[in-house]
Amino acid sequence: MSLSRRGTSPREQKLAAVGGGGVGKSALTIRFVTSQFSEQGYNPTIEDSYRKQFVVDDEAVTLEILDTAGQAMADQWYTFGSGFLLVYSITDRPTFESLPHFHREILRVKDRDYVPCVVVSNKCDLGRLRAVGQMEGRELARSLSAPFIECSAVDGVNVDIAFRQLVKLVRKDQKRQSLAAQRLMAGPFGAGRTTYPTLPEERTHRIREDEISTGCCVLM
């Protein structure tokens, strides 16, 4: 599959779901795009991309979502994406423990200190088989400067919220980069400090309580 490297407009975003095998990346992506869950197995060696128009904060956005597979093209996925779902399964501790590695690789490829990410704890419908606690997931997300959301691709719980939150983070990051570029173009007299400006709406990653679906916990 050939990944597009052309630039995106503010109304287009390229997202990717990354994580260990069997965490439900395909199931989450397909649930979001089609509002359906298929019990048919997915081929873990095939990567695919999906497009979906989505409205966030009354502004339409066209999403191109890469459903990653294997490891051979990891750097290309990271180059492709402007935001990432870092997915693990609550029933599989090794997939949880591998997330910091995925995050480090994204930062390495992007050559940045921050990239918009959301930590997604999938399969919360299998609470009886839980191997990773909610507080552990929350602490990991905090260490990665990312929101934390528990989802169920099977039940469709909080899936839209996870993607919506990622869209918001990417928008904020794009605004921050645009302001930084404008400051750089202004030269030494207009640049001032070189730190990124803080956007007014960037004070928290908080999600409104009325967005949260019952059945799973959403922790920020």
- The confidence score (pLDDT) of residue 177 equals 86
pTM of the model: 0.81
Distance CA 87, CA 151 (A): 10
Residue 197 maps to a domain: no
Residue 105 maps to a domain: yes
Residue 191 maps to a domain: no
Each residue's pLDDT, cut to its tens digit, for the chain (220 residues) gives 434 444 455 588 999 999 998 999 989 999 999 988 866 555 554 556 789 999 999 999 999 998 766 554 678 878 888 999 999 999 999 999 999 999 999 999 999 999 999 999 999 999 999 999 999 999 999 999 999 999 999 999 999 999 999 999 999 999 998 888 888 887 765 544 445 555 544 444 555 545 555 556 665 5
Q: What is the CATH number of the domain that holds 137?
A: 3.40.50.300
Q: Distance between the two ends of the chain, CA-based, in angstroms?
A: 35
Residue 187 maps to a domain: no
Q: How many CB atoms lie within 10 A of CB 174?
A: 17
Residue 4 maps to a domain: no
- The confidence score (pLDDT) of residue 129 equals 97
Count of structural domains within the chain: 1
Residue 124 maps to a domain: yes
Helices (H), the chain: 25-34, 74-80, 93-97, 99-110, 134-143, 159-185, 188-191
What DSSP line would sit under 47-66, residue for residue? Answer: -EEEEEEEEETTEEEEEEEE
Q: What is the domain extent for residue 24?
A: 12-171+210-219
Give me 146's structure tokens: 């990312």
Residue 30 maps to a domain: yes
Residue 69 maps to a domain: yes
Distance CA 28, CA 32 (A): 6
